[in-house]
A and B are shown apart, each in its own frame.
Chain A
Amino acid sequence: MADVTMRIWRGDANGGNFETFTLAQNEGEVVLDVIHRIQATEAPDLACRWNCKAGKCGSCSAEINGKPRLMCMTRMDQLPEGEVTVTPMKTFPIIRDLVTDVSFNYVQAQKVPALLPPPMPERGYVMFQEDVERGQEFRKCIECFMCQDVCHVIRDHEENKEHYSGPRFFIRYAELEMHPLDTNDRRHLLREEMGLGYCNITKCCTEVCPEHIHITDNAIIPLKERVVDAAYDPVAWLGRKIRRKHNRTADEAAVQPAP
């Protein structure tokens, strides 16, 4: 097989540049295999994060030819001919080479108010299959954070990180809001503090998701429609007034049950 040229970003917080490696291409290799061969031969100090090599741990996220992809699931023979560019995820601060600091996501994870079930009835909690199935898709998330990386709201506007949870956490909010045992109401929280309105539904998160979760259609848009119910629909507002129903405020919803 022909040789392959890899153009890999090398550097840290002090700066960096591309380094080019040319090596023989082996049949059936994925990008992560080639990165490992470079580590084993030419650049033992090349930093990359990886774990399962099976597309299930979400560790080896990077940008291959400019698009967020898992290195372990990207076959070399499916990339266009010519040199292959590998860079770290752009949205997060660099640690070294292909490794980024994704702690922004853990901060956002901490902000998600947990499931708030009613007191346990005598017979215990009961879940029906149709309710279990509804949230199943969202639980496939492997937290590779490529949806967060590709989302232009924070990719191109660092300042929005303060008030934007991002697609990965919107699917978590959707899972909770669609949970039949949850008694919380996070709609005002989503609108006022988690930045749901910043999403302009360009569906890049769905395009890059390695688990093929329909993030936009099944999580973000349903959440946006729920926020319309809570904050923008005058008929829904009138209905609440007549039935004397109260929506939880953002502060009320943000209170979490103790672990």
Chain B
Amino acid sequence: MAVMESSTSVVLGGTRGGPSVTHLRKDRWWLQPVVTMSILTAFVIYSTWAAFQNRYYYVGAGVHRDLISPFYSPCIADDCVSGSKAGWHFSGWSLSPALLILIFPLGFRLTCYYYRRSYYRAFWWSPPACAVADAHGTYTGETRFPLIMQNVHRYFFYAGLVFNVLLTIDAVEAFREPGLGWGVSVGTIVLCVNAALLWLYSLSCHACRHLCGGHVKSFSQHKIRHRLWKLVTPLNAKHMNFAWASLFVVALTDVYVRLVASGALTDYKLF
């Protein structure tokens, strides 16, 4: 086959038009990065504090409940409180189990395409908003270490699926009321909503969409993959909503379990 090479190259430089200012926007462009930064900072501070607490993460048979915080599930440390232990434990780990567990969901969110957009804007100001100058003299994006590591996102997605299964089991077990049988309490609803939102967040992920069928050249030759891709694509369009909703709810779930476990709140039985 005859071939043709591109010969024209980019000419750099040339005078740009417009004034030499960082931006000419008149709207409140700073509001979104400020709100994002505030929420993500608050979540990081709270989850770090909660991870080091290593108590009040489980509501057990003493009050006829089986509720565990998502930050501490599966409880795999040596000294997990009675009833909260997973079938397997990390022998010799006497610190908070949350320190082991949170690596995976946090890694999933840290490398998530949506959160990347948010924290690159809010924290790194690269750029803080559209058509507002970024705050750096040079820029290499995600081509070098450490940001090239964002490409491991799909592996955190796989790990996230494992945690979703475990948290779904926790949600089912939350219907158990030791000594009383089965029932539904506010805690049951909280754990179920948390598990549902985490599934929606994971299944709407861009890596999931790619793995389901986005990677094929031809949908017509991969009917099942096309069908899967069509199922997750509408979820993908709402990935941002699921990202925020699941972030709030996972923190609220921990707060709720913590309050009930510490005795500050009673888990109200619905039926």
Contact = CB atoms under 8 A, between A and B. Distances in A.
Interface of A: 9, 11-18, 63, 65-68, 80, 82, 85, 87-94, 97-98, 100-101, 103-104, 106-108, 110-111, 128, 130-131, 134, 150, 152-153, 155-162, 177-180, 182, 195, 197-204, 207-208, 216-217, 221-222, 224-229, 231-233, 254-259
28 contacts: A9-B17, A65-B24, A66-B23, A66-B24, A66-B26, A67-B25, A80-B26, A92-B16, A93-B14, A94-B18, A101-B14, A107-B10, A110-B6, A156-B136, A157-B138, A160-B139, A161-B10, A180-B221, A197-B141, A197-B148, A198-B140, A200-B126, A200-B142, A208-B130, A224-B151, A225-B207, A225-B214, A255-B5
A60 to B, nearest CB: 15
B26 A18 contact: no
Contacts of B206: 217, 221-222, 225
Contact of B133 (A82, A156, A224, A254): A156
Contacts of B127: 152, 156, 202, 204
B6 to A, nearest CB: 5
Contacts of A111: 6
A90 B148 contact: no
B89 interface: no
Nearest to B138: A157
B130 A9 contact: no
Contacts of B5: 254-256
A93 B15 contact: yes
B131 interface: yes
Contacts of A150: 130-131
A94 B15 contact: yes
A91 B140 CA distance: 18
B61 to A, nearest CB: 43
A208 to B, nearest CB: 7
**Would you call the interface of chain A mostly helix, strand, loop, or mixed?**
mixed
B26 A82 contact: yes
Contacts of A13: 14-15
Contacts of A222: 206, 209-210, 214
Given A104-B10, A217-B237, A16 B141 contact: no
Contact of B218 (A97, A180, A226, A255): A180
Given A13-B14, A156-B133, A162-B10, A65 B219 contact: no
B12 interface: yes
B220 A130 contact: yes
A158 B217 contact: no
Contacts of B15: 12-15, 93-94
Contacts of B126: 152, 200, 202
Nearest to A93: B14
A98 B17 CA distance: 8
B130 A178 contact: no
B33 to A, nearest CB: 11
B36 to A, nearest CB: 12
Nearest to B116: A201
Interface string B134-171: 10101111110001100111100000000000000000
B217 A87 contact: no
B161 to A, nearest CB: 15
B16 A257 contact: no
A257 B5 CA distance: 9
A16 B15 CA distance: 11
B17 A88 contact: yes
Nearest to A203: B117
